[in-house]
Amino acid sequence: MTVIERDLLIVGAGPVGLYAAYYAGFRGLSTAVVDSLPEPGGQVTAMYPEKPIYDIAGFPAVKGRDLVAGLLEQTARFDPTFVLGEAAQTLERDDNGVFTVTTASGTAVRCRAVVISGGIGTFTPRPLPAGGEWLGRGLSYFVPSLEAHAGQDVIVVGGGDSACDWALSLEPIARSVTLVHRRTAFRAHAHSVAQLMASTVEVVTEAQVTGVHGGDRVERVEITGPDGPAVLPAQAVIAALGFTANLGPIRQWGIEVAGNRYLPVDTTMATDLPGVFAAGDITDYPGKVRLISVGFGEAATAVNNAAVLINPEEQLFPGHSSDAVPALA
């Protein structure tokens, strides 16, 4: 077993967790960050790295991957320890108030406080019933790189924001884009749907993908709609059918869970388990707004209160970063 000893453990390496890691470093805390995904960025990296985000303060628009890259650069100056591709499994606390969090792979992190920034918990894409065996051979659930689909015939399946966003983003890059949705009504924002309908994307509603065919990789897709089946050329199928979320082992940590998915917190971002804080979409309190921008503030609040818990001689207010940290060259 690998044992890592740090002041603070952050569970979740999404944008809020990365900002928490920066702030912990700013407060002089040694930090470890654990995430079940193999790379930092959470849902942003896994699901919409190329999608512009418009509600981050100071950025009129920023792509998901660029936001994550900036957060990693901001965090790197304090050298947190990343434990990626390992889900936090168990939490124990000894008589001295020291936590030990063990991952599914056997890594143990010993710390004085924990900040859970796990977003919606672990998430699993809903599979495409007709084509599961093609995963990795032309079928995917996310679009890590738009350029990988340059010159391809792409089938996007789904009617939510991700499906519409990916179809629109791929339109100028792919040879053709067809969006297949089983209903006529879309779950996506009305503005995105309007853009989709005004684009060159072929939109097929009241239809489903009923077959995926090819050799080593996807070559064609069968779509069945009101007029019967049709076969289209395709080198890529993106199944944007949503995902299921699960708090997983965190449920067994003795923390109150609301609505089967959220962790209630007080104004300090503390859960009902002393020494365990939370920030980001996973938190719940009256008036909660689930935005990345809100999560950043919650991360700072959680870390500052954790710093005082770890060292009662510390002040809650950390001072202004412009006074305490030399400007970068």
Residues annotated in a binding site for FAD:
35, 43, 48, 88, 123, 281, 322
Residue 134 DSSP label: G
C-alpha closest to that of 4 among 88, 96, 109, 85: 109
Residue ranges at the known binding site: 35, 43, 48, 88, 123, 281, 322
C-alpha span between 303 and 270 (Å, rounded): 10
Amino acid at site 328: L
Report the C-alpha gap between 152 and 166 in whole angstroms.
14
Nearest of 68, 93, 90 to residue 17 by alpha carbon: 68
Half-sphere exposure of 204 (CA within 13 A, CB side): 22
Is residue 22 within 8 Å of residue 74, measured between CB atoms? yes
CA dihedral 142, 144, 147, 152 (to 10 degrees): -20
Q: Is 96 left (phi over 0), alpha (psi -120 to 50) or beta?
A: alpha
Q: Assign residue 228 a region: left if phi > 0, alpha if psi is -120 to 50, beta otherwise?
A: left
Please state the separation of Cα 290 from the chain's center in Å.
13
As a dihedral over the C-alpha atoms of residue 125, residue 129, residue 130, residue 131, rounded to 10 degrees, the angle is 30
